Every structure is written in structure tokens, then in C-alpha cells.
Amino acid sequence: MKRKTAFLISILLALVVVASIWYGRHHGLLPAAAGKEAVLYDRLFGTLIGIAFGLFLIVQGVLIYSLIKFRRKPGDTADAAPMHENLSLELVWTAVPTVLVMWVAIYSFDVYTEMRGTGALMMAHQHHHAPVMVADASGTSPLFSPDATTEVAEPLALEVQAMQFAWIFNYPGDVASAELHVPTGRRIRLNFAAMDVLHAFWVPELRLKQDTIPGTPTHLEFTPQKTGEYSVVCAELCGSYHGGMRATMVIQTPEEYQAWLTEQQELAQAYDGSMIAGRLEPSLDAGQIRQLQSRFMASGGHLNHSHS
């Protein structure tokens, strides 16, 4: 009887493991991955949602089984057999979650550093991060050396202004655009300035988000991989039309990107360096943006929002 129960439980647990792994790979809960970081994110997310799904099945399974199996029979007024504690069982359900969350913390930290491009915490199974590859003369700790597989040392840096309720992306040659155009395969660095209140730059397909803070510069780095048009969403409540503060991000091949930039630079020269390129949605027109931008420039790039 006891062996039969143990066998049955093993089978059920095996099924739960299979279901978790399957769900971790087929959850379909995330949009397309458009950047290198998004691919890393999706691997971590798949693992965590798989584990969560398995635990979900176990807990709900036990609850439903208990409700059916252990319901009181009519007329039975006696108490159930008392069971106050079981030390080994309690040790297991303390130790296993502890190990599990510590593992989640280390794995998350590893992914986090890799997404940030600041070098990865070494994990035995990720041999491509072997510290010997980045041995250099400067004496930097190998733990925090740049990943040897990172493509380009110098990221493409763009200045970004966030304001109620629009984004402005600045390119070399006096180009200010309401659309964010970036080339694939190159690390991009966005330097944010918030001109009024907090905003947050979020592209769901990049799985990255960064608050923009008035008075404090912040930045975000990522490497676009997949061409296409994506939404830039403001994720920090910024006022009445927060929900409408959106822009488009266009990921292009380096050639397309260069062609777009050249075109914009020519237009900007033709229009006295104050051209606002691209579409604007939904609440500000080009004139308003220009006004805001000149106010921003006049203040020397510092916050210049006065409130009466």
C-alpha cells in the first residue's frame, strides 16, 4: 500500500515536472523579442514561469484533492486524528524554498549583469563567459571585465528628452525626431532628461524600462536585433494624458538607418536646424514640440519647468 502510494506520487510529480517544462517553453505570454537583452530575459522568464507553474499545480492539486477526499461525512462528529508537526517535513519545505530562491537570485543576478553589459557572474554551465578570455594587463577583476563576446565597444549614444506627453530623440546634425530610429547589431545608449515630471521609457519588445527623473540624468543601454516598428510606452504616471504618451521605435538595418539619418540631416539643414522629424502622437504637434525644445535649449539643457 505504502509503495503503491509512493509510486503514484512519483508519477504525479514527474507529470508536474513535464508540464512545467512544457509550459516554461510554450507560455506565449511575451511579445516578440527585438533586442539581445530580450532574448536573455525570455530565457529567465521561461524558467521562472515554468517553476511557478509547477508549484501552482502542486498547491492547487493538493487543495482540490483535500476538499474532495477529506470532506466530512454526514453524521461524523468526531475530530480527525491529530497531527501537530513533522520536523523532517517542515525542514524540507523550509530548506527547498530557501535553496530555490537563492538559486533564482543568483540566476537573476547573472542575467541582470549580462543584460546591463557589465560582465556576468560566472556560472559553471555558461562556459562562454570563462574569465581567461578577458585577461588583460589593467588588473581588473575578471568577474567584472566586459564580456568578450560583446560586439562593439563604443555604443551609439542618443540624447532623449521626456516631457508631458511626448518623447524627443536627438541625433547628430541637429536632428530632433519624435521617432526613435536605431540600427541592428550595435549597442545603443539612451541618455534621458526629464523636463517636467517622472516618466519611464519602456519598449515591451526590448523588456527594458528606465525612469526619467527631472534633475537627475539616467540612461539605458540595449542592442537591437530584430527590425520592425515597436511602441515606446511611458510607464510612469505623468499626468492626464499619460496613457497617450507613446512614440514609435523603428529598428532598421545599419544601411536603412544611415539612409534615414542622412535624409533627416539634410532636411534639418534645409529647415534651419529646427526640424522636428517624424510623426507625433497624439497630443502635441510639431510647433508645440519646437517650443518646448527651444525652452529646453535656452535653459542650457537643464530643467526649466516653472509652476505657478
List the interface residues with another protein, window 81-120 (CB under 8 A): 81-86, 89-90, 93-94, 97-98, 101-102, 104-105, 108-109, 111-112, 115-116, 118
Residue closer to another protein (CB basis): 43 or 186: 43
Window contacting another protein (CB under 8 A); options: 180-188, 198-206, 273-281, 284-292:
198-206
Window contacting another protein (CB under 8 A); options: 127-135, 166-174, 228-236, 261-269:
228-236
Residues 215, 147: contact at Cβ < 8 Å? no
Residue closer to another protein (CB basis): 38 or 275: 38
Residues 144, 118: contact at Cβ < 8 Å? yes
Residues 247, 268: contact at Cβ < 8 Å? no
Residue closer to another protein (CB basis): 87 or 270: 87
Query: How far is it, in rounded angstroms, from Cα 129 to Cα 114?
Result: 10
Window contacting another protein (CB under 8 A); options: 173-181, 183-191, 193-201, 270-278:
193-201
Gyration radius (Cα) of the chain, Å = 27
Write down the least CB distance from residue 274 to another protein, Å: 26
Q: Does 124 bind another protein (CB under 8 A)?
A: no
Q: Does 234 bind another protein (CB under 8 A)?
A: yes
Residues 235-294 that bind another protein (CB under 8 A): 235-244
The angle formed by the CA atoms of residues 268, 270 and 276, to the nearest 5 degrees, is: 30
- Using CB under 8 A as the binding criterion, the count of chain residues that bind another protein stands at 84
Write down the least CB distance from residue 223 to another protein, Å: 15
Cis omega (within 30 of 0) on the bond before 165?
yes
Q: Does 198 bind another protein (CB under 8 A)?
A: yes
Residue closer to another protein (CB basis): 226 or 242: 242
Helices 36-69 and 2-26: crossing angle in degrees, nearest 10, is 150
Window contacting another protein (CB under 8 A); options: 131-139, 154-162, 200-208, 263-271:
200-208
Residue closer to another protein (CB basis): 179 or 205: 205
| Residue 186 dihedral angles phi and psi, to the nearest 5° | -120, 140
Q: Does 2 bind another protein (CB under 8 A)?
A: no
Residue closer to another protein (CB basis): 208 or 276: 208
Query: How far is it, in rounded angstroms, from Cα 217 to Cα 204?
Result: 22
Query: How far is it, in rounded angstroms, from Cα 251 to Cα 233?
Result: 16
> Rounded to 10 degrees, what is the CA torsion of 273, 279, 284, 288?
10
- CB-count burial class (<10 Å; 0-12, 13-18, 19+) for 199: buried
Residue closer to another protein (CB basis): 94 or 253: 94
Query: How far is it, in rounded angstroms, from Cα 200 to Cα 192?
Result: 10
**SS3 at position 195:** coil
Q: Does 231 bind another protein (CB under 8 A)?
A: yes
* Strands 156-163 and 166-171, sheet pairing: antiparallel
Residues 15-74 that bind another protein (CB under 8 A): 29-31, 40-41, 44-45, 48-49, 52, 55-56, 59-60, 62-63, 66-67, 70-73
Residue closer to another protein (CB basis): 208 or 268: 208
